[in-house]
Amino acid sequence: MEAIGVLMAGPMSPYLEQELDKRFKLFRFWKFPQKTEFLKENSNSIRAVVGYTTAGADAQLIDSLPGLEIVASYSVGLDKIDLEKCKEKGIRVTNTPDVLTEDVADLAIGLILATLRKMCECDRYVRSGLWKKGDFRLTTKFSGKSVGIIGLGRIGSAIAKRAEAFGCPISYFTRSEKPDSEYKYYPNVIDLASNCQILIVACPLTSETCHIINREVINALGPKGILINIGRGPHVDEPELVSALVEGRLGGAGLDVFEHEPEVPEQLFGLDNVVLLPHVGSATVETRNAMADLVIGNLEAHFLKKPLLTPVV
Ligand code: 8YV
């Protein structure tokens, strides 16, 4: 397979890069500032693109690669890949579901605890020597709080399972009710937000779910409510979130993702009711390597004409 051209869209994982290099003719797209020149010279030999959350495969890239057969995403989210274009052109698409579910769900619970119990601020308190001057102020209990989840897929369900262990009543919003779920269903996000204390975004980013967290939803969640986002930044209308936090219309937020990553609104930096993480939901050695193995497994399966491991298109 050494002659098969694989285009890696960005520097997503040194392990994946090394393993792709061993098997294929690897092109590191980010190393070529003159993209048009690069594509002119190499587009005919590229048969696969490996994308991720920062750089995927948009219509322009897909159209510029006449030999493209497969886009293998190093992510479960597919929002950076033009799926319609891939379908239209008969290009296969794979992602990395399941292997990252536990890590992302664990991090969602970690964000809830860090936000309510002010763990990051507590840490800063100890490090700066303030503890010697007095005890830290009281925080807010997590166990038993009502949790609302937007999206009850693999990750949403794994979060629900964990929150249940904390004695939390669970409710959810999805496009249609899940007949097998015992959790309370709300057919709209505002009602879900009005009826929970912690609202978690865990759905895929699509045109329907972009800005699913808007001013009305934030106001429904209210000054004691907490928003947790482990989905995608654009799920949230970020200026609305910032003003709600600054004005005290929302109790707090735990955010792993942002609308214009790695840019984070600076107004958030001074707030003690937010916890800000640099998109690390799946970022453990174990999971990232498993994601890389899945990307490689899908590419090998495709070029050996075997069934794909995790096909999307
Ligand atoms: C990223 C993610 O893939 O899977 C997703 O959709 O958001 C993450 O796991 C990871 O951050 C690499 O970009």
Q: Do 75 and 43 share a domain, yes or no?
A: yes
Q: Do 133 and 173 share a domain, yes or no?
A: yes
What is the interface pTM, i.e. ipTM, of the complex?
0.95
Q: Do 151 and 198 share a domain, yes or no?
A: yes
Sign of CA dihedral 16, 19, 22, 24: negative
Whether the CB-CB separation of 94 and 72 falls below 8 Å is answered with: yes
Catalytic residue chosen out of the listed positions 47, 232, 235, 302: 232
Q: Do 41 and 77 share a domain, yes or no?
A: yes
Task: Please report whether residue 199 resides in a domain.
Answer: yes
Distance 191 CA to ligand 1 centre (A): 29
CA separation for the pair 53, 196 (Å, rounded): 30
Residue nearest to atom 1 of ligand 1 (CA): 75
| Count of beta carbons in the 10 Å neighbourhood of residue 153 | 16
Residue nearest to atom 3 of ligand 1 (CA): 75
pLDDT of residue 255: 98
Q: What is the pLDDT along the chain (313 residues), one digit of tens a residue?
A: 899 999 999 999 999 999 999 999 999 999 999 999 999 999 999 999 999 999 999 999 999 999 999 999 999 999 999 999 999 999 999 999 999 999 999 999 999 999 999 999 999 999 999 999 999 999 999 999 999 999 999 999 999 999 999 999 999 999 999 999 999 999 999 999 999 999 999 999 999 999 999 999 999 999 999 999 999 999 999 999 999 999 999 999 999 999 999 999 999 999 999 999 999 999 999 999 999 999 999 999 999 999 999 999 9
Q: Do 209 and 296 share a domain, yes or no?
A: no
pTM of this prediction exceeds 0.95? yes
Total count of residues recorded for the chain: 313
Whether the CB-CB separation of 91 and 313 falls below 8 Å is answered with: yes
Task: Please report whether residue 74 resides in a domain.
Answer: yes
121 is a catalytic site residue: no
Sign of CA dihedral 206, 52, 163, 217: negative
Q: Do 91 and 60 share a domain, yes or no?
A: yes
164 is a catalytic site residue: no
235 is a catalytic site residue: no
Q: Do 254 and 174 share a domain, yes or no?
A: yes
Q: Residue 230 to residues 6, 77, 151, 227: CA-CA distances in angstroms?
A: 30, 11, 11, 10
Q: Do 128 and 74 share a domain, yes or no?
A: no
CATH number of the structural domain spanning residue 87: 3.40.50.720
The total number of structural domains that make up the chain: 2
Q: Do 182 and 110 share a domain, yes or no?
A: yes
Q: What kind and span of H or E run contains 252?
A: strand 252-255
CA-based nearest residue to 274, from 296, 295, 258, 298: 258
What are the pLDDT digits (tens) for 128-171?
999 999 999 999 999 999 999 999 999 999 999 999 999 999 99
Distance 198 CA to ligand 1 centre (A): 23
Q: Do 214 and 243 share a domain, yes or no?
A: yes
Task: Please report whether residue 309 resides in a domain.
Answer: no
Residue nearest to atom 2 of ligand 1 (CA): 75
Domain with 196 in it: 101-276
